[in-house]
Structure 1
Amino acid sequence: MHARLLDLLVCPVCLPEEHPLQLQDHRHSGDDITSGTLVCPDCGAAYAITDGLADLVPPEKAVPTAQARYDTGRLSASYLWSHYADLWEDREATDAYTRWLEMAGDWEGPGLDAGCAVGRFTFEMAAKSGFAVGVDLSRPFVTLARRIARKKEMAFTAPRQGHLTTRFEFSLPARLQQGIAEFVRADVARLPFRAESFGFVASLNVVDKLPRPMLHLVEARRVCARKATVLLADPFSWSENVARPEDWLGGTAESGDSAAVVATMLGAGPGWEADIAGSAWWTIRDHVNRYERIRSEVIVAHRSAE
């Protein structure tokens, strides 16, 4: 865990009260804290740093069944392909991550990729602003993302057909090696960061996978600086297996279109405004003959410093 994160961290158990975490019994290599424990002085909750990865998920947090599937090796391969396939110019790849970055415009200060999966957009943000943090509830995802950040390359196998596999490998181009990209395990509905920490918060294809998506929107705005941008992209593929319809953000006869509902929520309150910015197609690979092409609608919200 990069030492720069220490000034931003608060105990997620104690939210909405913000109690800075204290580092104990740690080891480090340069600016990288390789092991140790982050302790809340108020409630006593302890969070481990192991092999440089900080686990900031509240100790009592159970991973919902619908989200636990993201801890499988097959899905890790699918997401690695989805995030990085354009780097080796795979003909099925899309330009979603660069398009989302263009839609975000310019911002000042560090960035937060809330629900980062295997990290591509975090690298895009770090290259643009100098420092970005990716968080995800999936330990395999953030472990892979941090490995890419340290080694600047990755090789992995993905299903080809039946028991056959295909090997893919890539290196981060020079532009994605700029800045500092750090990754931690955390819950996007209880972000372990103090208020007003980030100049840009991204939420890509996350809200329809959460049991309480509104909590994520509240947290995304809480950690925004006085002048900040939020970019939310999602296909709004609501499922009753994930969340109750009354907890969806739109998608029902009573609530209406999800993009409009989210834009209204993100734009509510003094200093905030939000608009539907368009959409972007992205693709995820299951095997050589099966790809899923998905369109995510994009909402961009700005918080004024005034």
Structure 2
Amino acid sequence: MRPRHFETLRPICPVCRAREVSSHLAINIVEAGTDDEITAGILGCPNCGAEYPVIDGLPVILPDVRRYVQDNLFYLLARRDLTPAVESLIGDASGPGSAFDSIRQHVSSYVWDHWGDQDPAETGSAAGNASPGSVARVLAGGLDMISDGLASGPVLDMGCGAGRSVAELAARTGRTVLGIDVSTPLARVARRAVVHGHVDYARRRVGLVYDRRAFGIDIAGRERMDVWICDVQALPFEPATFALAVGLNLLDCLGDPQRGLAEIGRVLCDDGKALFAVPFDWTGHVTAVEGWIGGHSQRGPHGGSAEAILDGMLSEGALSSGGLRKLGPAREIPWHVRLHERSCMHYDVHVVAARRDSAAGMA
């Protein structure tokens, strides 16, 4: 965690925020770090006494830290110093379907897309002629939709994954950019990439076979970037903190997308912009069917159309979610995720831009 970002963004206690009290967090303990970076410590709320750890440079600012630690203990305590041969043996021994196997696959897929085009050892394309860097291409296409300029203020990259969008946003806007995610493994990769300029991950070849990839990346303006662990549905920030909020492949990963949209609108300044890219790839164990934006109830007035319902949530009317209002027509942009050397998931993501309209009111 960069102290400068902490002082600029002035995060508030999410526990107090749920009680409609605005209490700014303080840095209570610094156990490791430098003047520019806190790698281990504790943040605290002077009002309610809640504490939030800083682990591997990642501040965990969530309403229920205890629950998060319990659910993510394996990932928080996982070793990151295993040699490739030992890691391979452990992967074989733990077997398919294990937590170790699942997270290696997840990290392999997303890091390949975010940073594979920067890897000197990466040659050719993936299955189906997919090439890494599609997250950057989706972002570029989306930013073209809000080319009329931004208000002053920092940028929030929600669900930043392995961090490529953080770097792209910093380069394209020249602003301070904060990436947030709830995935400990991906947030670690993102922070190491955008703060320290290094990527190191196990790239899946097939089955349980992985190749270790490690390479440096040249990113200008790294001092303007950071990554925190925060929940989009409980953003620990004052209203009107950000000029731009970006959520690529985010809304269908939230337990309550409508609540997420209201929170995003809350932390945007007047006339602040938002950009969303959504594949509408829902899973019931993350989002209850009732919370899906389309994809069910084809008997209803929208016929189950995800695009029509999201449009309604970003417009005046019964479906409206807070003060976000759609800007112009949406676009469909290709995005893909590499699973292994013979398999790749291809999507057309629905990209929509919006702005915070202060006259619209907030939910």
If the TM-score is normalised by the length of the shorter chain, which range does it land in?
0.7 to 0.9
CA distance 1:47–1:270, change in 2 (3 Å): closer
Query: For 2:312, which of 241, 261, 264 is the aligned residue?
Result: 264
CA distance 1:90–1:231, change in 2 (3 Å): farther
Give yes or no for contact 1:263–1:275 (8 Å, CA) kept in 2. Answer: no
Query: For 1:46, which of 45, 51, 54 is the aligned residue?
Result: 51
Of the structure 1 ranges 116-125 and 106-115, higher mean CA displacement relative to structure 2 is found in 106-115
SS in 2 for 1:182: strand
Q: Residue 134 of structure 1 aligns to which amino acid in structure 2?
A: G
**1:111 paired residue number:** 155
1:94-105 matched pairs, under 5 angstroms: 94-104=133-143, 105=147
**2:81 paired residue number:** none
**2:213 paired residue number:** 168
Q: Which has the higher helix share?
A: 2
SS in 2 for 1:13: helix
Of the structure 1 ranges 20-29 and 187-196, higher mean CA displacement relative to structure 2 is found in 20-29
Is residue 219 from structure 1 mapped to residue 263 from structure 2 by the alignment?
A: yes
Cα deviation digits, residues 119-160 of structure 1 (max 9, x gap): 111111122233101111111111111111233121322121
Give yes or no for contact 1:111–1:129 (8 Å, CA) kept in 2. Answer: no
Give yes or no for contact 2:232–2:263 (8 Å, CA) kept in 1. Answer: yes
**Unaligned 5+ runs, structure 2:** 76-98, 317-321
Is residue 302 from structure 1 mapped to residue 358 from structure 2 by the alignment?
A: no
Query: For 1:193, which of 237, 240, 247 is the aligned residue?
Result: 237
Q: How far apart are the structure 2 equivalents of 1:95 and 1:154?
A: 17
Cα offset, 1:178, TM superposition: 5.3
**1:11 paired residue number:** 13
SS in 1 for 2:232: coil
**2:108 paired residue number:** 77
Q: How far apart are the structure 1 equivalents of 2:284 and 2:13?
A: 31
Q: How far apart are the structure 2 equivalents of 1:267 and 1:134?
A: 27
- Using the size of structure 1 for normalisation, the TM-score is 0.87
**Unaligned 5+ runs, structure 1:** none
**1:284 paired residue number:** 337
CA distance 1:86–1:64, change in 2 (3 Å): same
Cα offset, 1:292, TM superposition: 1.0
Cα deviation digits, residues 42-63 of structure 1 (max 9, x gap): 2221101133221112224458
**1:243 paired residue number:** 287
Compare CA radii of gyration and give the structure with the larger one: 2
Give yes or no for contact 1:271–1:303 (8 Å, CA) kept in 2. Answer: yes
Cα offset, 1:75, TM superposition: 0.9
Give yes or no for contact 1:267–1:274 (8 Å, CA) kept in 2. Answer: no
Computed over aligned residues only, the root mean square deviation of the Cα atoms, in angstroms, reads: 2.7
Q: How far apart are the structure 2 equivalents of 1:261 and 1:172?
A: 40
Of the structure 1 ranges 86-95 and 140-149, higher mean CA displacement relative to structure 2 is found in 86-95
Cα offset, 1:270, TM superposition: 6.3
Give yes or no for contact 1:110–1:129 (8 Å, CA) kept in 2. Answer: no
Of the structure 1 ranges 194-203 and 20-29, higher mean CA displacement relative to structure 2 is found in 20-29
Query: For 1:132, which of 163, 177, 186 is the aligned residue?
Result: 177
Give yes or no for contact 1:200–1:230 (8 Å, CA) kept in 2. Answer: yes
